[in-house]
Amino acid sequence: MPKKSAKIKVNAKDIFDKYVAKILVGKNSQESIGIFCNLNYNNFYNLAQKFKLEERQVSSLIGFKDEFFVETLINQIVAESQLEDKFYCKKVTANEKSGLSARAIKLKGDDKILTIGGDCVIFRRSDDKPLMIIECKEYIDMIRMKELVGESRVIKDEITKSVNLLGDIKFCVFAEVLELTEGWAYLLNNSDLKHKIDAIFVIRDGKRKDKENMPVAANIMSFKEYIQNFLASFK
């Protein structure tokens, strides 16, 4: 009896790399923004359906798009500003042996460094110092809002029994949509509820279900200008 061939499991990253990544990069930052703002979001859900991705994988597919775009856009801004010898940008994954050094603690009598990651991190090239962490979110609901506020505390607050190694870093959020009630959205944007999150950029109007809503160019331009001004502040 012939053996059945093993079924190859397709994941969201493979699909993104093959079908999406190559179409997101323009010749310059302005062209990349134009491409991003004209993406048909139904294509992502059609790809997910075609390859039978689970719900979590669908979110990952959309998340890869935002992370890739943010990193691409920042690297293009750096290049266009002729600052490639001063800054670079990349994703950082944290584990026991790698990541951004966030906290120094004493554990069982020994010095220990605690690390964190970041979807997109801007570094100073001369000493590899991290200057800005950008977290990309498909949406911000109550759970994710509280997570982000907590993350800002981990990054920036003075916490007992630890030394903060990232206190002067910027922490920003790049989100597809807000899934908050009108009241919570107002409070997040007009109070200190966001704690030490430096800036939140929401790029689409409506909710996740509003798949026909494209990214708003003015919102992306605000993000671009924020990055440009941040980089210029080091000159």
pLDDT averaged over 10-residue windows placed end to end, the chain, 235 residues: 57 87 92 91 81 81 89 97 96 88 93 94 96 95 96 93 93 95 94 93 90 91 97 89
The maximal CA–CA distance of the chain, rounded, in angstroms, is 71
The pLDDT of residue 33 is 96
Distance CA 226, CA 143 (A): 26
Quote the Cα angle for 84-118-129, to 5°: 45
pLDDT digits over 86-143, tens only? 999 999 998 877 899 999 999 988 999 999 999 999 999 999 999 999 999 989 999 9
Q: Return d(Cα 82, Cα 80) in angstroms, integer.
A: 5
b/e for 165-182, b at 16 or more Cβ within 10 A?
bbeebbbbbbbbbbbbee
> Across the chain, where does the E strand assignment appear?
87-92, 100-107, 110-116, 118-124, 129-140, 163-164, 170-178, 199-202
Of the candidates 16, 81, 15, 86, the one whose C-alpha atom is nearest the C-alpha of residue 51 is 15
Q: Which CATH class is domain 12-232?
A: alpha beta
pLDDT averaged over the chain? Answer: 90
Does the pTM surpass 0.75? The reply is: yes
Which residue's entry shows tokens 């010898």?
A: 85
Domain ranges of the chain: 12-232
Q: Which residues contact 1 (CB under 8 A, 6 or more apart)?
A: none
Distance CA 131, CA 230 (A): 10
Q: Classify residue 38 as exposed, middle or buried by CB count within 10 Å of its CB (0-12, 13-18, 19+).
A: exposed
Nearest by Cα to 223 from 207, 205, 208, 201: 201
Q: What is the pLDDT of residue 212?
A: 83
